[in-house]
Structure 1
Amino acid sequence: MELNIERVTETTSTGPAKGEEGRALPQRARRSREGASMREEILNAAREEFAGGGYDRTSVRAIARAAGVDPALVHHYFGSKEKLFATAVALPAVPSELIEALLAGDREHIAERWLRTLFTMWENEDANNRMAALVRSMTSGEPRSAMLRDFLTRHVLARIAAALGVERPELRAAMAGSQVIGLFIARSVVGVEPLAKTDAEYLIACYAPIVQRCLTGPLPDPVG
């Protein structure tokens, strides 16, 4: 893909970038700094566009226009709209890659795979901090909270449930998600004991049947 680097050229044509002591930086260092700045401009524009229009209604072209760059440059730095979104809101993983891994095995053990994947993330300090910040923002009054909840419900949880071919996938997704998010909040955000110090494999064994029932188990008849 041929990139439009007109904006980068305009940035570099003002003269060599200077280091902290006023000396001209080497060409490689200048390119690195300018690339990092351009990437951050795209991220800032993406955060504003996603917060204002939501994930579905926001296009890469709109983000590029807000950042003042060619759409090809957005793809160059981030690859896809989903990966840009994941980076912009600090998701610990790219949703489609996570979903693909979860659906790779048999459906009877998808909850166990899901929980084990999440616990692996939670044991990583950086990913754990990202998840904690994400959960806090989802439960706050921040403008992006509704957008995050909608994305995770429709593009992560609902896609998992729909791929299983079960009835009422949206309800099942919400029920399964409430179990998983509730466990994370209690264990990693609030630090409820003894959950916070209980072995991960033991908790997986306890919660997997509950989450599995939400995803694939029988549902009662509607009331009324």
Structure 2
Amino acid sequence: MKRIIKIGLLATILVACNSSDKSKKEEVGSKKETTIETTTEKEYSSYEEIDSDEALVATALMAVPKESRANCKVIGYNMAGDFVTFREGDNQYIVLVDDPKKDGFNAACYHKDLEPFMARGRALRAEGKSASEVFDIREEEVKSGQLNIPTGTTLHIYYGKKTLYNPETSEVADAKLRYVVYMPWATSESTGLPEVPIAANHPWIMNPGTHRAHIMISPINE
């Protein structure tokens, strides 16, 4: 009888200890999740939604080298959904603001000599052409000389998943830059570049052998 009582007491003690350990682990996990959430909220506490034309322009300019931001042309869709020229410019860059109707953030700047090529793409997409149709049409037009993509012209893309920005610095939360250097008809053989990135932040050639061949330089994923 005494043996049975001892076994019962031991089982009760073990159950109590396990419950206590589980509660402590759950408490620690809860504190950790709360800390992460609080840190994230604190990190973006000074950020605001990109919800005005002024904010669209300010954030898009982050795609441009700092010394060239003051004099570049800025175009794109405004908050009302109209494609407009926000301001004229006189340097080598044209800036395309983020489309506020699309998820995430994606602004860009490109050399002004690329504008005919970019404008043609916008026009074809407005007609309802698919991505493959746009590619094929512009391929033929570049081959025929109707369109021109100057070798070495660049595209800078400032992008991210969030649409929050710091109104003091114009930086977009978690946004990064990637770069494109157009090299029409270039191949891996003609440039010595791989067709896929072989290391983080390593240049590679995309769409080789076509009108849209370009050197791609993507950011390191942290």
TM-score by length of 2: 0.27
User: RCO higher in 1 or 2 (8 Å CA, sep ≥ 6)?
Assistant: 1
Structure having the larger proportion of residues in helix = 1
Structure having the larger proportion of residues in strand = 2
Larger radius of gyration: 2
TM-score by length of 1: 0.27
